[in-house]
Structure 1
């Protein structure tokens, strides 16, 4: 694909559940390439009101059984066109950003007067592109790290916190419209119950996910060496982004550490959960995530904006 000229925020609408780690991956990819976009933030359970207008007969969910054509992140390319062109999977959105707005090589390059960052799938070299893709799929598809870290974090928030104190304030912290905040205030207990049932969140599943998270951190720790400080080779790639964002819930990465929106930080969890997060942070894999956020998590491009429906109410 040819490198596209840089767009304005009207060319890309990114619909996100802001604290979701899969949504953070799509946001990171756009920020890494300094692509202006409009972000429409929605709450879980209420997101269909925003995604429904862009769902087409050929739309599909992400690559796991919990996703539907209405799932987020949803990227709408040139949302003013009919029918809309949408991309539903965080990895597909990352690939779109890389193929459309990168240097198309392992090195940055100046194209049409604009400095383009390396292609996140080619940055380790063409011969290692399959390795980047293999790691990306390992972390994000099927019964993967992304599923386990979300289940573990949701168990801490939805099951152990009987007052749902963190869950209750999420709408206010997520910068959504006033109507969403009001609906969330009345509906958050019901949505919490539905999520626990739908995602099979309970003490046993959380314990199983904790074991899976530890195993994945141990595996990733073996990939990091002085000769190869990144997961797929000697350069930052989509594999590093994918592991960093999908490990974030298990590490309690907050906004001050680079997360792209408000997210529960580790200090708000129970003491034993905080201790688990801290143990993970001390592993080579955990330190790698913190470094990725510190050194490679870009900031929004000039021209990015928040998008709301219904006169700003949603």
Structure 2
């Protein structure tokens, strides 16, 4: 038997959640290896990756979430494929996935970290989830440096968080408009990488209970952030993402639904 692949992550990361969801959905065997930022670089840099997720298989190393999903799709059974067979629908799926990767995921990370980084206790729980004991012990020393890196690398400041939330709302409106004709999924008649990418990368703004990583409880978050989460949850796009989590996150999809 082949050994399970290694998935190197931050447990909280929504990009890691995107890959984790795809792995769980397709039944691809893996072991998740969580690390404390920026100590993950000790693992990812030798493998050719700068950040997470990184998927290490016996044959190949993948350092990009889109690349990982396309690899998993080649091994998925027909009713669990993430990309349509139709060239037109596949192109549409990949375009939406790329938009969510490069825009939505960046914005929800920027907005979410602005609030979360102010609470050291919350960040300890989020960043230390599943990491080796020695990394947990280093959290008090690493946290100020890691927080500085997040602020500078992701441009996490009040003004940028306000702008990010506005742009998140614009993307949610675009998705809601797309769903306004009554369709169940973003592309075609079945769940695809576009749906998975939107649901997972919007998760910091919705805090779905079924999230495969770890989020704080709403009562641990600032009131302003909770109010903004509630606004997003009540949109058409927010309801759609929460439905996807409820219906598909843990393998409830059937051949009748996905064919």
Q: Is the TM-score greater than 0.5?
A: yes
Q: Partner of 2:74: helix, strand, or coil?
A: helix
- What's the TM-score once normalised by structure 2's chain length? 0.91
Does residue 150 (structure 1) correspond to residue 106 (structure 2)? The answer is: no
CA deviations over 1:132-155 (Å, ceiling 9, x no partner): 1111111112xx011110000000
Could you say what the CA RMSD is over the residues aligned between the two structures, in angstroms? 1.7
Does residue 136 (structure 1) correspond to residue 97 (structure 2)? The answer is: yes
CA deviations over 1:255-301 (Å, ceiling 9, x no partner): xx2111222243321112111101110111000110111111126xx
Q: 1:1-314 maps to which residues of 2 (within 5 A)?
A: 8=2, 10-55=3-48, 69-78=49-58, 85-103=60-78, 108=79, 117=80, 119-122=81-84, 125-141=86-102, 144-158=103-117, 161=118, 163-172=119-128, 174-225=129-180, 227-253=182-208, 257-298=209-250
CA deviations over 1:84-136 (Å, ceiling 9, x no partner): x2111111101110112332xxxx2xxxxxxxx2x11117x453111111111
Q: Partner of 2:55: helix, strand, or coil?
A: strand
Structure 2 unaligned segments of length 5 or more: list them: 252-259
Aligned residue for 1:59? none
User: Contact 2:104/2:202 (CA < 8 Å) preserved in 1?
Assistant: yes
Instruction: Identify the structure with the greater helix proportion.
Output: 2
Aligned partners of 1:277 and 1:179: how far apart in 2? 34
CA shift for structure 1 position 226: 5.5
Q: Partner of 2:188: helix, strand, or coil?
A: coil
Q: Could you say which structure has the larger radius of gyration?
A: 1
CA pair 222-215 structure 1, distance change in 2 beyond 3 A: same
Aligned partners of 1:270 and 1:40: how far apart in 2? 30
CA deviations over 1:172-191 (Å, ceiling 9, x no partner): 4x111100101123211221
Aligned positions, number: 251
Aligned residue for 1:113? none
Q: Partner of 1:169: helix, strand, or coil?
A: helix
